[in-house]
Structure 1
Amino acid sequence: MAQQKIIIYQIFTRLFGNRTNVCKQNGTIAENGCGKMNFFSDEVLQQIRAKGITHVWYTGIIRHASMTDYSSFGIPRQHPAVVKGRAGSPYAITDYYDVDPDLAEDVNKRSAEFDALVERTHKANMKVIIDFVPNHVARQYHSVVKPEGIVDLGATDNQSMGFSSDNNFYYNVGQQFSPSIDLYAGESEPYTEYPAKATGNDHFDAYPGKNDWYETVKLNYGVDYCDAGGRSEHFSPVPNTWQKMLDILLFWAARGVDGFRCDMAEMVPTAFWSWAIAKVKTINPGILFIAEVYNPMDYRHYVAAGFDYLYDKVGMYDTMRSIICDGCPTSKITTAWQWVDDINEHMLYFLENHDEQRIASNYFAGDAFRAYPALVANVLMRKNPFMVYAGQEYGERGMDEEGFSGCDGRTTIFDYWTVPSLYRAFVSKESTDEERELSRLYSEVLNIANAEKAVSEGDFFDLMYVNEHIAERQYAFLRKANNELLFVVANFDGAKASLTVNIPDHAFTFLHIPRKDVVATDLLSGTNVAVHFGSTTSVNVDVDAYKCVILKMQLSMETEEIFNAHNKEEYPPAHTAEHLLNQTMVRMFGCARSSNAHIERKKSKISFILDHKPSRKEEKEIEVRMNELIEEDLPVKYEVVDRNHIPDDISIDRLPEDASENLRIVRIGDYDACPCIGKHVRSTSQIGKFVMLGTNWDEMKHSFRIRFKII
C-alpha cells in the first residue's frame, strides 16, 4: 500500500456544528447553543474527507470544567471562580474517563454517542485524534465514570508533603489557595482549597495571578521542582501518576481512538513519554502521538521518546507568518526546514490552530488568500503531515468578541459561540463566493497531496540556493518519485511574477532527472508547458499574485540517457561505501537493502528497516566491519547483462518498471553484487576511512538512519 500524506483537520467540536446562530456575548448554552457530536453525519464527514483530510482531531471531547450545571445527571458542578468562560477551557479536565456532556444530544448516552462518532469517522475513511492533557487538570477534578479498579487522581495523596513521588499533585503545605481573582464569582460561598495545590503553568505557590493557569492543577510525574539542591527526578520506582496516565491512554485507545494530540507535552518529563508511548504502541502499534512542543532544542528528545510528530511552531509556522505579514524573505523557508532536516518527517506543519490567530484576522494577514502560497509550500514540500484548523479553509476571521476570549483574532475556546464561516458552509449552506473559492483552492491542494506519490513518498530538492533573484518573495522546489517530477513555485508577492527558475546540476544528479525535453502539466490550471531539460537548466514560469504553479512531468528513463546523464559518479568513494554498508546491514540484521539514501561528498544519510533498535555495541560493530572491508582492498568490477540472463544472486525487485533491458551489475569482491549505474572506485582501499557521524531511530517505522562521511 502506498504511503499516505497525513492531513489533519482540527475541529473545535463544541463550535463546529452549532445550529444556533445567536452569538450573545457571554451567552449560556441555552442562549447560544452548542455543537453536538451527532452533527457529524455520514454526509458531513464525507464533505470533510472530500477536502483531502485523512485524520480528524476532535478538540474538547473529554469532560472539562464548565459553568453549565449537569448535576442532575450525576456530574459534579464546578465553582465558576475556577472556570474560564461559561463553556470553560477544554484543557481543564474534570474527568479523564468521561465525554463532555455539552457535546451530547442525550447526556446519559454521551459515551455511546462518542463511540458512534468514531465509527462514522472510520467509515468515512478518516482516523480519529483526541486531546490527551497530561500536565494539569481542573481544580475540582473528580471522575464519576472511571472504570472499576481505577483510583482517582489525588485520592491517596499525602497532603502534608509538598512533594512525594507517590502523590499525584504538588501541595503548598499550610497555605490556603489565594489567587488574585474573585473567589466568589457570583456564588454565595467562595471557592476554597486547602492546602493549595500548585498551578498548571508550574506556579508552585498558593498565589497565582489572573494570567496564570489558575483554574488548573499541576500533575506530579516524580519531578521535585522545589528541591533545595535544584530540580530533582524520582522515577524509580515508577511514580503513581505515570501508571494512572497510562491507564487513561489505554482506555481511549481501546475505544478506537487512532491518535493523541498531547497538550503541552514539553511540560512532562521525556522519561514518562518513553515509558508510556512504548507500552501503548506494544498494544496498538499504529496509534499516533503528536506533541505540542515549542523549544526547538528539545525536539529531538521528544522524537527519541517515541512521538510521531511535533508542532513546528517556532520554526516553519513563525517563518511563514513573518513572510506573509512582515515581508521576511522567502529564503528563510530554507533555513526553517534545514534546522530540523534530520527529523523532518516528524514535524507537523500548520498555519492555524486554536492557539494561534486566524490568518484572515486583523492581527495576521487580514486576507486569507495571502496565505495560499504558504499553504501550497507547506503541504507539498515534504512528506511530513499538515494540519488545517476548521474554518481556515473558508477564511474565518476570528474577529468576534465572544466573552471571556475577547476580540483577539482567535476563535474562542472558552465560550459558547458559532463560527460564522462554518455555519454558512455546513448549516445554512450560504457560503460567500470568496469562501467557496478559498475552500476550492484548499481542497485542490490537499487532494494533490493525497494523490501525488511525489508528495507522499518522493524526494525533496530546495532550489533557492541557485535562485537568489527570487529569494525575497517566491519559493521554488522539486519533488520526485520514480518517473514523476513536480516543480513547484509559490509567489508570496502581491504582483504577478515572470520568473526564470534555475535547476542546478546537482538536482539532476540527486533526483536522477534525464536531460531531455518534456511536456509538463500545471496541476492547478490544467495548462501544458514545455520544459527544455535537454537544452537548458532552467524553467520559465508566470505566477500570478499570491498564487502558485505546480508542474507535473512524466520522465522517461531510457538506458542510454541514464548511463550518460546519471551523475552518482560525483563522489565514487561514498557511493562504493553505500554498497558495502547495504550488504553489511543485510548480513548483520537480516534486513532489506536501503531504499532511502542520500549519498554526498561531505556527509551521507542512509536508512534501513530493522526489527530492533541497534545497541551501541552493534553500531560500533557496523563501523568496525566497514573499515575492515575497506582495508581488505576488495576489487570493484562491472558487468552488463540483459534481463534474460540475470545472475541468480542479483535481485531486481527494486528496479523501476521502465528500467532498460540491459542492466549493469556492480560486484565488490565476493561480498556484494547489485544493479547500479553510478561510478565507483576500482578497489575498496580507495574509499578511505568510514566514519559514523550519528544515528536516529524511528520507533513507529522501525527505521534506523545512519549518517556517515568518508575521510
Structure 2
Amino acid sequence: MIKKTILIASIILILVTVACKTAALPMNTEKENTTREKKIVVYQVFTRLFGNKNRNNKPWGTIEENGVGKFNDFTDEALDEIKDLGVSYIWYTGVPHHALVRDYTAIGISNDDPDVVKGRAGSPYAVKDYYNVNPDLAVSPAHRLEEFEALIARTHKAGLKLIIDIVPNHIARKYEGKNNPEGIRDFGADDDVSVVYKRDNNFYYIPNSHFEVPDTAAPLNGEVNPMSDGKFTEVPAKWTGNGSSMAKPDKNDWYETVKVNYGIRPDGTKDFPELPAGYDTKSVAEHFDFWNGKEVPDSWKKFKDIALFWMAKGVDGFRYDMAEMVPYEFWSYMNSAIKMQNADAFLLAEVYNPREYRNYIRLGKMDYLYDKVETYDKLKEVIQGKALPDELSDIQRGMKDIEHHMLHFLDNHDEQRLASPEFAGTPEKGKPLMVVSTTISSAPTMIYFGQEVGEAGNENGGFGTHSRTSIFDYVGVPSHQRWMNNGKFDGGQLTDKEKSLRDFYKRLLNFSVSSSALMGEFQEIQTLNRQSTMGFDPGIYAFTRWSDTQKLIVVTNFSWTTTSNFELKIPSDVIAIWNLMDGDYTITDQIYNNSTILLHVVNGEGKAKITIAPSESFIYQL
C-alpha cells in the first residue's frame, strides 16, 4: 500500500502498547520446523498483470486502452514453466474482489466511488467482497468464481500449491458482501453506530460525524466521472484502515479503507480472553482447544469463516496483509482452526517489527513472516554501498531460533523492483543478493513475477509511479511480456541478457530446493577472512552450509567493478565438523558447474584459491 512504510514506526508503537509480550521469549519446545526435506520457493504474481499482453501503458489507461490479465492466462504451459523454475507455491495476489472504477452493474455489482478508490484498477488491500473474486480477472465476470476454481484445479494439476491474500486489518469503505454463504452476516450489519467502540462491532465509529474525502489529487487524473465529486457518504464516519480516527483522514492515510475492530479498545486494552503464560510452547491443537467455547469478538468469527471458505475451495494457504496490526490472540484463534483442517496450510504474515516476530510465530501460529527489516534491508544497503555484508552474519545469529520461519525476498508488489535504479540498478547487480538471500538460511525464498527476467518497473501507470510495478493501474510488464511471448510462455522475445538471467534464477532455485545443506547448519567464515585474508575485498561475503550428506561453501561478490583474488580460509572448527583429514578435496560450483577448484586441508585448516568477478557468486560443493 502506498505510504505503508511511513507507518511502520507508529505500528511498532501501537504494538508495544497493545500487543506486546516480553521480547526474549523462551525457545519453543514444540518441535521447530527443522526437518523439512527441502526449501520452499514462492512465486508471487500480481494476477491482474501476469497475462496482460497489451503494451500501450498509457498513464491512467482503461482496460480497453491498456488491457488486463485473466485467470485463463495461467495456462498449463505457463504453470509448467513456473514449476520448472523450482517453484513450490504460487501466491496469486489481488484475487479477492476489491473496489475498482469500472461498471459491473449488469451482474449486480455496485459502482465504486473514485473518491475512495486508489487508481483506476483499485487497491487489492481494499476488499469489497471476501466471498468472491475480482471481476476484472474473468473472461465472463458473472462466472468469475468458477473461473478461479478452474485455476485452482490447473495449479494443482501442475504440481503447485497456491495461496491468496487475506487483508484482516481493513476492508473497502463500500464493502458489500453480495455472495455471503447462508447465515453469514455482512461486516457492520449489526454494529451499534452510536458509540466509538463495542466489542462485537466490526468497525470503530466517530459518532455524529460525516466522512470527508481527504485533500488528494483529482481522482482518475481529473477525468469526468458521475461519482467523482469530492464526496463519499458515510454516516457516521468510521476509523480509517491505518488507525486514523479523523472524519477527514490525511491524503497519506489508507483513506480507501476502514479499520476492522478485533476487540482492542481505543485505549489499547484487550476485550477478549488472553492466552495464558506458556502458550508459546503449546501445539496448534492446544491453541484450538483453548478457544473452543470462548466468547470472541464478532470480527474474529467473520475472518475465520472467510479463511475456511477458501480452504474448502482448494486454496492451500494465505498471505496476511499487515498482520501485526491485528492482535496475535486472533491469529492463534484463526490459524489453529485452519491448521486443524489442513495441517500443511501455508500461512505467511507481513510483520515488520522484529520484537514481535516470536509472538506471531509461537503465539499467533504463523508459519512464515517477512524477513524485510533485517535481511532484505541489509542486502539493499550493501548493494547501494551503505554497509558491508559482514552484518548479515549477525542477523543470522540473532534469528537462529526462528530462521526457518523468516521468508526471504528481494522483490514484491510493495517494494521497489530489484533491477530498478532505486534498488540494485541492474538485474546483474541483483544476482549476488539473490544468491545470498536464497542460500543463507533454510527459510523459504520468494520471487516476484518478472524479477527472473530483470523487470525494472520503469512504467508510470498513473496512480502508481516508476520503480514499483503499479498495483493500482492497468499496465503491462514489459520484460515479463517478452517472456510471455503472446501467450506461448517460451521466452521467445527475451533478449540474450534476459534469457541468461532467467537461466541463472532457474539454476539457483532448482539447486536450492534439492539441497539438504540449505536445510541444515550455517556458519559464517566472514570474520576470519575479513581479518586475515589478503585480497578479501569489502564486497566479498562468504559462509558455509552443511548437512550430513552435503557440504557447501558460498562465496559472493557484491562489487560491480572489482575482480577479487584471494585464498579463502575455512576455519578448523568447520573442517573438524565436516570430518576432513589433511589433503586435497575437489569442490565444484553448483550454479553453472563450470568452476572446479581445490580445497587444501593442512593441519586441520582449509584454504582455497578464489578468483571471483564483479557480481559473481559460487556455491562450491565438496
Structure 1 and Structure 2 fold alike (TM over 0.5): yes
| 8 Å Cα contact 2:599/2:606 also seen in 1 | no
Q: Does 1:332 align with 2:387?
A: no
- The structure in which a higher percent of residues are strand is 1
Show the counterpart of 2:251: 210
Gaps of 5+ in 1: 554-711
* Residues 587 and 598 in structure 2, CA contact (< 8 A), matched pair in contact too: yes
Deviation digits for residues 491-537 of structure 1, max 9, x if unmatched? 11121111211111121234444444322222224333222225652
Q: Could you tell me whether the CA contact under 8 Å between 1:294 and 1:311 is conserved in 2?
A: yes
- The corresponding residue for 1:635 is none
Matched, 1:187 2:219: no
Say if 2:160 is the partner of 1:104. Answer: no
Counting only pairs closer than 5 Å after superposition, residues 127-526 of structure 1 correspond to structure 2 as 127-181=161-215, 186-187=225-226, 190-225=231-266, 230-236=267-273, 237-304=295-362, 305-407=364-466, 409-428=467-486, 429-455=492-518, 457-468=519-530, 469=533, 470=536, 472-493=538-559, 494-523=561-590, 524-526=592-594
Tell me the distance in 1 between the aligned counterparts of 2:140 and 2:396. 47
Partner of 1:15: 49
Partner of 1:76: 110
SS of equivalent to 1:520: strand
- Alpha carbons 2:482, 2:494 under 8 Å: kept: yes
Contact 1:500 1:541 in 2 (8 A): yes
Q: Summarize the Cα distance change of 1:96–1:514 in structure 2 as closer, same or farther, 3 Å threshold.
A: farther
1:679 aligns with none
8 Å Cα contact 2:47/2:92 also seen in 1: yes
% identical equivalent positions = 42
Deviations 1:377-410 (A, max 9, x none): 1111211111101111111111111101123x10
Q: Distance in 2 between matches of 1:124 and 1:537?
A: 44
Partner of 2:597: 529
Q: Kindly provide the amino acid, as one letter, of the partner of residue 550 in structure 1.
A: I
Inter-CA distance 183–497: structure 2 relative to 1 (3 Å threshold): closer
SS of 1:404's partner is: coil
Structure with higher RCO (Cα < 8 A, 6+ apart): 2
Find the residue that maps to 2:314 and give its secondary structure.
coil
Give me the TM-score of the superposition, normalised by structure 2. Answer: 0.85
Asked whether the 8 Å contact 2:517–2:549 carries over to 1, the reply is no
- Cα distance, 1:458 vs structure 2: 2.3
Aligned equivalents of 2:346, 2:578: Cα separation in 1? 31
Looking at structure 2, the residues matched to 491 and 264 of structure 1 have their Cα atoms a distance apart, in angstroms, of 34
Aligned residue type for 1:353:
N
Report the Cα offset of residue 145 of structure 1: 0.9
Letter of the 2:607 counterpart: S
Quick check: 1:21–1:418 contact (8 Å CA) kept in 2? yes
The TM-score normalised by the length of structure 1 is 0.75
Q: What's the CA shift string for 1:189-220, capped at 9, x where partnerless?
A: 63211100000001012120111100000000
Tell me, yes or no, if the aligned pair for 2:516 and 2:549 is still in contact at 8 Å. no
Moved more, 293-302 or 518-527: 518-527
State the distance in 2 between where 1:487 and 1:82 align. 52
Cα distance in 2, alignment partners of residues 350 and 483 from structure 1 = 27
Q: What pairs up with 1:87-98 in 2 under 5 angstroms?
A: 87-98=121-132
CA shift for structure 1 position 121: 1.1
How far apart are 1:7 and its partner, in Å? 0.7
- Measured at CA, do residues 343 and 2 of structure 1 come closer, stay the same or move farther in structure 2, by a change above 3 Å? closer
**Map of 1:544 onto structure 2:** 613
Task: Give the letter for the 1:130 counterpart.
Answer: I
Q: Answer with 1 or 2: which has the greater Rg.
A: 1
Q: Structure 2: which amino acid aligns with 1:500?
A: E
Code of the aligned partner of 1:464: Q
Following superposition, the deviation at residue 366 of structure 1 comes to 1.6
Q: CA deviation at 1:439?
A: 0.8
8 Å contact kept, 1:51–1:447: yes
CA deviation vs aligned residue, 1:133-153 (integer Å, no higher than 9, x gap): 000000000111111111111
Structure 2: gaps of 5 or more residues: 1-34, 220-224, 274-294, 487-491
Deviations 1:342-371 (A, max 9, x none): 211110111111111012212122211111
Q: Which amino acid aligns with 1:28?
A: T
Assess if the C-alpha contact under 8 Å between 1:331 and 1:471 holds in 2. no
Deviation at residue 129 of structure 1 after TM alignment = 1.0
Partner of 2:195, secondary structure, is: coil
Offset at 1:479? Answer: 1.5
Supply the distance in 2 between the matched residues of 1:516 and 1:144 (Cα, whole angstroms).
72
Native 8 Å contact 1:220 1:241 kept in 2:
yes
